[in-house]
A and B are shown apart, each in its own frame.
Chain A
Amino acid sequence: MSDTATTPNPVPDPPTGPVPFDRELALGLLHDMLRVRRMEEKCAELYGSGSIRGFLHLYIGEEAVAAGVMRALRPEDNILATYREHGHALLRGVSMAAIMAEMFGKQEGCSRGRGGSMHLFDAATHFYGGNAIVGGALPLAVGLALAAKMQGRQCITACFFGEGAMAEGAFHESMNLAALWELPVLFCCENNRYAMGTALDRSESQTDLTAKAASYRVATETVDGMDVVAVHEAAQRAAAFVRDSGSPMFVEFQTYRFRAHSMFDPELYRDRAEVEAWKTRGPIHTYTARLKAQGLLTEADFLALDDAVGAEVRRAVAFAEAGTWEPVADLARDVCTPAPGTGDAS
């Protein structure tokens, strides 16, 4: 363990090899990642111009994880995520327009503008946030899975969290409960190597994350989170395991954040060269190259896809700009649930 500087991360070779999916799924995964990437690039730009304020934690570089996992889940499944959840919400089915309006703080947003970037919610798709307390969603995932089990509902609960959350007591308590009570929780650890600015080996005595989960007798797997093929295959295996066994599973997705932690982060804790080295493993361009090599995608196809995504982003921004502010008179609305027959309770 180092005292001051981070131990240089050996950067594995970029993902290669054939894509073992049919064309629809293969291009669908690319489309998913592009939608997240282009939406967030626009968010960063809008942050610069002041349309989006507060914290903005970008997922750029990590898109393969949400893309690969979300397509392994079913409509009835529950999803919980962190404050870096724009991609998860979008790929779960929350409209880009509703997400963008939320970022703008407009009442047409998916949380009526109350939550912002860190608190995207959507009951219709069982998307339970958007939780900005590190580890805060993990006990909720246990409870949602417990409820489903007690009600005899065949659904699983997927909970995304960073490796930083594994230092929290909530992680350990949740792993224990999920294993002890045999609950169908898919624990998705997005290990992007830094808890804000603190490298894994500077914050954890045990850097083998699967060992922590395994100590609770939870099944584990480690996956290259920059490779959407590996992610999706692993997620399908893991979701099937959780669904069939009714027991939890922990999957570590090894990934990397290309952008700063948030818009306020000067990135003093990592070398520029390390970031550049990881960019050679970027999930979108490496995957695009594989699709092309395999004849599943031409440059013209890619440009057409990217254009379509660009148009979706423009429509989302227009929707957000045209959105309206919730009246200040509604400030206290939904602090409590309105009593039946009344308009409000506050």
Chain B
Amino acid sequence: MTKQFLLDGQPVPFDDGQTILEAARKAGHYIPSLCWHKDFPPHGSCKLCVVKAAGRHVSACATPAKEGWEVESNTPEINGERRGLLQMLFVEGNHFCPSCEKSGNCELQALAYEYEVLTPRFRHFFPDRPVDASHPDVLLDFNRCIFCELCVRASREIDGKSVFALTGRGIGKHLVVNAESGQLGDTDFSATDAAAHICPVGVILPKGTGFAVPIGERSFDVATIRSKTLKESS
């Protein structure tokens, strides 16, 4: 007999070692995420996938499912916390959607739509994060970084280059590139790297293609992140 746990009262089957997030999505239940990616081990930093398992808050992406667990996800409490986390991500960076090439394709924005985030709620940090346009084919706009480390992981594990890393600590944490000059143009980064196409927000932008698809016709203009994610997980 397959094992199962209850997600918001609905039975979800799982295999040993499968995480709550994977099992839920496979069974057609949406749990949001920003830093999780099917090609990498769980990261657990964004905390968007927070759920309450057996009464305790855990990251669904990093927690193996357990037989008989009662897991709460789509509840006012948990969704309220997710909204709060999204608001935190918006105020700590400079997310000015109207001028961002990624608008409509951005997972942070799409999640904010999904959770009906109407206000940033907190004071904005307005950090100073200069852009890096030194590379011929790719622009880096650090203003939008959410520290999911997908580019760090993709460059290291798929591209074998380690172009990106995080430095600093706490609210001062920031993305750096693998060059003494600090310029992407001085690294061996290429627009064909996996890391060039993995950013869920608008930090790593291939040049010359920004508005090939007009605003209003982009991924999350035509489908919600919920439906898109579930389609990809089935």
**Chain B associates with chain A:** no
